[in-house]
Structure 1
C-alpha cells in the first residue's frame, strides 16, 4: 500500500520546500524551492560550508566593492546551492531575487538575468531554473518581460486572487500562493473561529485560484506553498504542484490512510476573467488587508534574512 506522500505524487507534482540535501535525497521530489530564509538555514549545514568560501571567492574576483560585493556573494551562494540540489532532482530549482528589489522593476530584471547567467556559467540551462519574484505590481511586470526572454518565473508571496489574476495575465510560468500564512492572519484576527478542514482560508484561496486558472484556460502553474499542517496539503491534493517542507513530507510518508483528489476534473470558477490594470491592482490590494499585510511582512522577513546571509558570507574566511 502506498503511503500518503506516494499517493499525493500520483496526482500532484511534489516540490521540496528546503535547501536540505539529505531531506531531498530522502523524499525524492520533482522540484525544489529556496528563499533567503532557507538559504540562511542551509548555510549552517556542514555539506554547504565549502560553498560559502567558493561564493565569496567568486564575488571578490568580480572586483566589485560595497553593496555590490555582498550581492555577488549571496547570488553566487544561492546558485551554488541550486546547482547541488539540481544533481538530485529531475526538475527545476527556484532561486529568489533579493526581496529588497520587490518594488523596483528594472533592478529585479537585472538581478534575475544575473542569476540565470550564473547558472549558465555553472553548466545549468535556464530551462531548469525558476526565478522567484515577490508578487508586487513591479515584480509581476518584471516577470512579464522575463517570460518574453525565455526566463521562467515563480511569483511568490502571493495571497490574493488579484495577485494571481495579474500574474496569469503577465504569462508567469508559476505562482506560489501561500496557504499557512493566510491561515495565520485569520487566526490572529479571529482566535475563537474554527478554521480546520474546508474552512481553512488558505486552502479556500488556493482552491479558488486553481479553479479560476483552469476555467479561463491559463497555463500558469498553481503551486500551493507555506503549509502549517498535513490537512492543508490533503485538502489541495490534485493541485498542479505543492511545495512541502521535510517535516510535513515525513508525516505524509508515515501515513497509509487513503488520499482522494480534491482539485481537478470539471470544477469551475464563477469568477469572470479579470486582467487588472495597475490602478485596479493597487486599489484591490489596498482593500484586502490580509494580502497587503502578509505581502509586506513576507518581503520584510526575506529582506532581513538576506542581510543576515550577507553578513555571514562577509565574515566567512
Structure 2
C-alpha cells in the first residue's frame, strides 16, 4: 500500500520546507524553499558552517564596506539554493530581505542581485523563485519581476485580498499560510472548533484555490505553514504544498487512503475589476488576523535575518 506521502505526490506537487539536505534526499520533493529562519537554523549546524565562511570570503572580495555582511547573507542564500538545486528536479525559492518589504524598488534591486549571483554561479536562473512578502509594495515588485521573466513566490499571505492582488499582478506562485492563521484563531477565538475542514487556514486556501480556478488565473497556489497532517490531508489536490520534514515523515509513516479534496473542475467565470491599492489596503485593514500575522511574520523574518548576519559577522572574525 502506498504511503500518504506517495499518494499526495500523485495529486499535488510536494515541496520541502527546509534547507536540510538530508531531509530532502530522504523525502524526494519536487521543489524546495527556504527563508531566513531556516537559513539561520542551518548555519547553527557544523554541516553548513563552511558555506557561511565561503559566503563571507566572497563578500569580502566584492567590497570592504559595512555592507559586506549583508552581501554575505545574500550569497549564503544563493549557495544553499545552488545545493538544493542539485537535490530537487524543480524550483528553489530564495527570499528577499524582509526589511525591504515596504520598498518596491529596493525589493526589485535585491531580487535582481540574487538572480545575478545565481547566474554567476552558472545556475539556470529559471529554476529560481524570488520570494517576497505579500505587502502591496512587494506585490508590485513581483509584478515588475514577472514582466522581466523572473518568477516569484509571494509569501506571508494570509488574506483573500493579498491572494487576489497577486493573481491580478501575474505572480507565478503564492504561499498562503495555513498554520499561522490557525494560531491566530486559537489565540483570539479559543472557543471555536478548528478541526478538519473547519480549520480557518484550510478554509482560506480552499477559497483562494477555488477563486483562481473559477476565474482562470494561472497563479500557482502553494499551501504553507502547516501545524498538523490533517491540514495537509484537507488540502490534498492543491497545486502545491510546502511541508516540513517532521510532517513529511508523518505522512510517510501512514498508509491510510488519502482523498483528493481540491480539483480544478470549476467552470470559468468572467473576472472582476482589478483590485486597486486603496481597496487592497482597506480590505487588509478590515482583516485583523491578516494584518497581525503579516506584520508579525515580517518582524520575525527581519529578526532572524539580523541574527543570521550577526552569526556571519562572528565567523568573519
TM-score category of the 2 structures, normalised to the smaller one: over 0.9
Task: For 1:232 and 1:267, locate their aligned partners in 2 and report how far apart those are by CA, in whole Å.
Answer: 22
Deviation at 1:70, TM superposition (A): 2.0
Task: For 2:69 and 2:302, locate their aligned partners in 1 and report how far apart those are by CA, in whole Å.
Answer: 13
Q: Is 1:47 aligned with 2:64?
A: no
Counterparts of 1:77-226 in structure 2 under 5 Å?
77-226=76-225
Distance 1:175 1:83, change over 3 A: same
Flag structure 2 segments of 5+ consecutive residues without an equivalent: none
Q: CA RMSD in A?
A: 1.3
Task: For 1:128 and 1:266, locate their aligned partners in 2 and report how far apart those are by CA, in whole Å.
Answer: 29
Q: Which residue of 1 aligns with 2:303?
A: 304
Deviation at 1:271, TM superposition (A): 10
TM-score, normalising length: structure 2: 0.97
Is the contact between residue 211 and residue 269 of structure 1 (CA under 8 Å) also seen in structure 2?
no
Deviation at 1:275, TM superposition (A): 2.1
Task: For 1:13 and 1:274, locate their aligned partners in 2 and report how far apart those are by CA, in whole Å.
Answer: 31
Task: For 1:182 and 1:120, locate their aligned partners in 2 and report how far apart those are by CA, in whole Å.
Answer: 36
Task: For 2:298 and 2:267, locate their aligned partners in 1 and report how far apart those are by CA, in whole Å.
Answer: 32
Task: For 1:265 and 1:308, locate their aligned partners in 2 and report how far apart those are by CA, in whole Å.
Answer: 42
SS of alignment partner, residue 89 of structure 2 = coil
Task: For 1:224 and 1:150, locate their aligned partners in 2 and report how far apart those are by CA, in whole Å.
Answer: 24
SS of alignment partner, residue 47 of structure 2 = helix
SS of alignment partner, residue 209 of structure 2 = helix
Task: For 1:35 and 1:271, locate their aligned partners in 2 and report how far apart those are by CA, in whole Å.
Answer: 36
Distance 1:296 1:150, change over 3 A: same
Task: For 2:264 and 2:94, locate their aligned partners in 1 and report how far apart those are by CA, in whole Å.
Answer: 32
Task: For 2:273 and 2:22, locate their aligned partners in 1 and report how far apart those are by CA, in whole Å.
Answer: 43
Give the total of aligned pairs. Answer: 316
Flag structure 1 segments of 5+ consecutive residues without an equivalent: none
Is the contact between residue 216 and residue 268 of structure 2 (CA under 8 Å) also seen in structure 1?
no
Task: For 2:44 and 2:175, locate their aligned partners in 1 and report how far apart those are by CA, in whole Å.
Answer: 26
Deviations 1:216-247 (A, max 9, x none): 01000000000000000000000000000000
Q: Which residue of 1 aligns with 2:58?
A: 58
Task: For 1:77 and 1:294, locate their aligned partners in 2 and report how far apart those are by CA, in whole Å.
Answer: 27
TM-score, normalising length: structure 1: 0.97
Deviations 1:123-170 (A, max 9, x none): 112211000000000000000000011110000000011000100011
Q: Which residue of 1 aligns with 2:24?
A: 24
Is the contact between residue 212 and residue 271 of structure 1 (CA under 8 Å) also seen in structure 2?
no
Q: Is 1:6 aligned with 2:2?
A: no
Distance 1:65 1:236, change over 3 A: same
Could you list the structure 1 runs, at least 4 aligned residues long, displaced by more than 6 angstroms after superposition. Answer: 268-272
Deviations 1:272-306 (A, max 9, x none): 63521011111110000000000000000000000
Is the contact between residue 212 and residue 269 of structure 1 (CA under 8 Å) also seen in structure 2?
no
Deviation at 1:64, TM superposition (A): 4.4
Task: For 1:26 and 1:159, locate their aligned partners in 2 and report how far apart those are by CA, in whole Å.
Answer: 30
